[in-house]
Amino acid sequence: MATPIGKADSLRALHVPGDPLILVNAWDVASARVVASNPVTNAIATASWSVAAAMGHADGEQTPLDDVLRLARRIVAVTDLPVSVDFEKGYADDLDVLEDNVRRLCQTGVVGLNIEDSIGPDDGPCRSTGEAARRIERVRKAATAEGVQIVINARTDILAGGGRVSEAIERGNAYLRSGADCIFVLGGIGPNLPTLINQITGPVSVLAGAGSPSVNELAGLGVARISIGPGAMGVAYAALASLAAHVNGTGQWPSTLAFRPGA
C-alpha cells in the first residue's frame, strides 16, 4: 500500500497540461467505491456541495468539520487511490485555526485539497490577493508539519463574482508562488480559457458540466485537471428519479437494480 507521501506525489504528477486528470467527484463511501472501481480512475475527489446534500446540509461550510473529516477518513480507508477533499474555505477565518484544520485533514490520510478565495458565496466578494495567498502559505505549512506535501488545488472565484480575467491570472500566479500546485478558476470555461492557461504559470483546473467542451477539447487547450463537482451526484440522482417514475409507471424492473457498490 502506498504511503501518504507516495500518494501525494502520484496525485501531483497526474496534473499534466494537455493530458488532464479527470475527477468524477464522490460524496460518500459508496460513491467513492463506485468511482474507484473503474480501472481508469487515478484519484478520488469529493465535492462539498454533494457531501453537504448527502448529509442534509446546505453548501458553504454548513457541514460540520468533524463530519467532513470523518467522511474523509472513511473514504481513504476503502481505496488505495489518492484522495482529495473539497475543503471549501478551510473552515476558518483565523490563520492559526486554518492551519490546525489542515493538519487534522492530513491526519485522515487525505493527500489533496481544494481551498477557495471567496469570503461567502461563490459569486460574492473575494479576499484580497495577499490575504488569500497567505492562507495558502499556511495550508502548505500545516501539511509540511504533518509530513505530507499535500496537493493544493487553489480555487479563485474572482470570475464567478464578475471580476476580470487579468485578476484571475494575477491571483493564480500569486497562489502558485505561495505553494499551490494547481489553480482552479471557477467560471474559467469560456472564450478566455486559452488566455488563462497561457498566462497562469502552472496547471489549470476547471469545473465541467452540461454543455461544456469535451474532454478532448479541454485537453487540447492545455487544461491539467477537470472535475464535474456536484454533476456526478446529479447524474446518480437523476437515474434514481427516473427509476421511481419508471417502476411506478410500468411495473417493470430494470436490470440495473442488480448493481451494488463494491464492499
Residue spans of the domains in the chain: they are 4-258
Distance between CA 14 and CA 83 in Å, rounded? 13
What single letter denotes the amino acid at residue 257? L
Distance between CA 193 and CA 217 in Å, rounded? 11
**In the prediction, which pLDDT does 249 show?**
75
CB 189 within 8 A of CB 211: no
**In the prediction, which pLDDT does 189 show?**
97
C-alpha cell at 124: 460574492
**In the prediction, which pLDDT does 175 show?**
99
**In the prediction, which pLDDT does 263 show?**
60
CATH code of the region 4-258: 3.20.20.60
Question: Does the global pTM surpass 0.75?
Answer: yes
**In the prediction, which pLDDT does 252 show?**
76
Distance between CA 179 and CA 152 in Å, rounded? 8
Nearest to 185 by CA among 224, 157, 218: 157
Interior/surface letters 67-100, b for 16+ CB within 10 angstroms, e for the rest:
ebbebbeebbebbebbbbbbbbbbbbeebeebbb
Q: Provide the H-helix boundaries in the chain.
A: 4-13, 29-36, 48-54, 65-77, 95-106, 129-145, 165-177, 193-199, 215-221, 231-250
**In the prediction, which pLDDT does 245 show?**
86
| Average pLDDT per consecutive 10 residues, the chain (263 residues; last block may be shorter) | 93 98 98 97 98 98 98 98 98 98 98 97 94 98 97 98 97 98 98 98 97 97 98 96 84 85 74
Which strands sit side by side in the sheet containing 44-45, from one edge to the other? 21-23, 225-227, 204-207, 182-185, 151-156, 112-116, 83-86, 44-45
